[in-house]
Every structure is written in structure tokens, then in C-alpha cells.
């Protein structure tokens, strides 16, 4: 088989162009993630939209995924074991109608836990994620007293085999980080939302609330949703539908 001079030139040009563009494409992908030196930006406000009509009894893929992602293990002491996310059953006593929904840190715009923390260990990142700096948390638990959502856990005993991206330790307080490590590396999703979509009922949607092009922002604009304890006016990053 012979190849014409014209075809050879065409193939060569395509190869050169591809070689030139490919790294660029890769660079575009990488641009989703922040470099460690780059600060979180107020241009984003990360959050979740949870549809309690889709969420069902008995399904716990979101909880399992979260606990696997962060290596949160049980010591079979439910009152002192950490739970970053839990499935809540809420039944209307008049009608008997029952809602099932996951509850985790609501990532408030005005978080009471951050207000009360004496050392500033509880803090809110510019992109709306509420976190605990485990290096300066003294374990006073005042944030747990202040949180309206019971979202925080105190680490009551020694833990081992922590993941490198989730610093955790006995004597400090922790809660849902909105998978900040995944956001920072550009995954653009949380473990709970991924698991719910893949294995569950597609009830949890993660996204940037401030970018009107995202699905979460569009749905929040066109469909009804609400905050838990909206009377407290905390402007939560996690919103619920169907309640």
C-alpha cells in the first residue's frame, strides 16, 4: 500500500495540531481545580439541593458514601460516634405523611457555630463552606450547643487511619466539609451527591448557587425549595424540596 504525498502532509498536519492542542485541553480541565496557593473565591457559593420527594426510606447510599470518603467509622456507640450526615424521618402527626431526607451541616451564610467559637477554629470559607480548623479547635463544644441542625460531632475517642485530606482527631469537633477536598481538586461534586445519583434516587444535587448557568441555580430559581429553620434567617447553602 502506498500513501500519497498529499495524504502524508494532511496526516502530519493533523498530528502536529493535535499535539499542540491536547495539552491546552488538559489545561482547560485543570483550570477547574484551584492550586493550593489560590484562595477560595467569593465568586462561588457551593451548596446542595435535596429533593425529599425522591429520597426514600431505607436508602443510605449518601450516608455510606460520606463515611467511606472520610473514613468515619463506628465504635457501636451511636450516642458518641461521629455522624456527618444522617437520614431523618419526619412524619406529619396530623396526616401521617412521612418525609425522608438526609441532614448534614447546612453551610449557613451566617453560621451560629462560627459566631460562638472562641478561637475562630470554626470558620466559613469565602466560597461558603463552613469548616473546623482542627489545629486550633480546643474541644469546648460551644459550636455544638449553637448549631440549630445538630450537624456537628465531637470525637469522643481515639481514631486511626485518617485520610490525608481529612484531618481528624480525638477531642475536636467536626462536621460535613461539603467534600472540600473534592471541590478543591476540581471534582465538582460531593460524595453523597455522587452516590445518590449513581446508586440512589438522584435526590441530591451539588453545585455553585451563585452561577446562574448551573443546574442547581436554575432549579432553585424555577422550583420551590426551602431552608430548614428558615425562621433563624441563616441563609443556608443546603436547601430542601418537597417539605
Partner 1 sequence: MKQLTYDMIKGTSFGYWTLLGIFGVLIAAGLGSAYYMETNGHYVTGMNNQIVWGMPHVFAVFLIVAASGALNVASIGSVFGKTMYKPLARLSALLAIALLVGGLAILVLDLGRPDRLIISMTIYNFKSIFAWNMILYSGFIAVVGIYIWTMMQHNLKKYNRAAGMGAFIWRLTLTTGTGSIFGFLVARSAYDAAIMAPMFIIMSFSFGLAIFLIYLIATYHLTGRPLGDVIVNRLRKLLGIFVISVLYFVLVYHLTNLYLAEHSGIERFILLDGGIYTKVFWIDQIIIGSLIPLLIFYVPVFYKSRLMLSFGALLVVFGGLAQLYVIIIGGQAYPLQIFPGMEVSSSFGDGQTGNYTATPAEILLGIGGVGIALAAATFAIKILPFLPQSLANEVVDPHSTPTT
Asked if residue 89 binds partner 1 (CB under 8 A), the reply is yes
d(CA 99, CA 112) in angstroms, rounded, equals 26
CB-nearer residue toward partner 1: 200 or 207 = 200
- Binds partner 1 (CB under 8 A): choice among 12, 75, 163, 226: 75
How far is residue 141 from each of residues 72, 147, 152, 225, measured CA to CA in Å? 19, 10, 9, 31
- Binds partner 1 (CB under 8 A): choice among 139, 167, 186, 224: 139
d(CA 177, CA 104) in angstroms, rounded, equals 10
CB-nearer residue toward partner 1: 148 or 188 = 148
Residue 178 and residue 187 in contact, taking contact as beta carbons nearer than 8 Å: no
DSSP state of 37: T
Asked if residue 230 binds partner 1 (CB under 8 A), the reply is no
Burial class (CB in 10 A: 0-12, 13-18, 19+), 204: buried
Size, binding site for partner 1 by CB under 8 A: 55
- Binds partner 1 (CB under 8 A): choice among 55, 62, 66, 147: 147
Phi, psi of 143 (to 5 degrees): -65, -35
Asked if residue 57 binds partner 1 (CB under 8 A), the reply is no
- Binds partner 1 (CB under 8 A): choice among 149, 177, 191, 217: 149
Binding site for partner 1 (CB under 8 A): 75, 77-83, 86-93, 99, 103, 112, 114-120, 136-142, 144-150, 152-158, 170-173, 228-229, 232, 243
Amino acid at each position: 500500500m502506498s500513501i500519497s504525498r498529499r495524504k502524508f502532509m494532511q496526516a502530519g498536519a493533523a498530528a502536529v495540531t493535535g499535539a499542540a492542542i491536547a495539552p491546552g485541553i488538559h489545561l482547560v480541565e485543570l483550570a477547574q481545580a484551584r492550586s493550593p496557593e489560590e484562595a477560595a473565591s467569593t465568586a462561588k457559593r457551593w451548596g446542595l439541593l435535596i429533593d425529599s420527594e425522591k429520597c426514600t426510606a431505607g436508602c443510605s447510599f449518601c450516608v455510606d458514601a460520606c463515611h467511606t470518603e472520610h473514613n468515619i467509622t463506628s465504635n457501636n456507640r451511636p450516642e458518641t460516634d461521629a455522624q456527618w450526615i444522617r437520614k431523618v424521618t419526619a412524619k406529619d402527626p396530623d396526616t401521617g405523611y412521612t418525609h425522608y431526607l438526609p441532614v448534614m451541616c447546612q453551610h449557613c451564610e451566617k453560621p451560629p457555630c462560627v459566631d460562638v467559637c472562641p478561637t475562630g477554629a470554626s470558620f466559613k470559607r469565602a466560597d461558603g463552606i463552613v469548616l473546623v480548623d482542627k489545629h486550633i479547635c480546643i474541644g469546648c463544644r460551644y459550636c455544638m450547643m449553637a448549631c440549630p441542625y445538630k450537624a456537628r460531632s465531637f470525637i469522643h475517642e481515639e481514631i486511626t487511619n485518617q485520610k490525608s485530606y481529612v484531618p481528624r482527631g480525638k477531642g475536636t469537633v467536626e462536621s460535613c466539609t461539603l467534600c472540600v477536598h473534592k471541590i478543591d481538586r476540581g471534582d465538582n461534586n460531593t460524595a453523597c451527591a455522587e452516590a445518590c445519583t449513581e446508586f440512589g434516587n438522584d435526590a441530591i444535587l451539588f453545585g455553585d448557587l451563585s452561577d446562574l448557568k448551573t443546574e442547581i441555580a436554575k432549579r432553585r430559581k424555577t422550583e420551590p425549595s426551602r431552608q430548614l429553620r428558615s425562621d433563624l434567617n441563616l441563609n443556608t447553602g443546603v436547601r430542601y424540596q418537597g417539605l
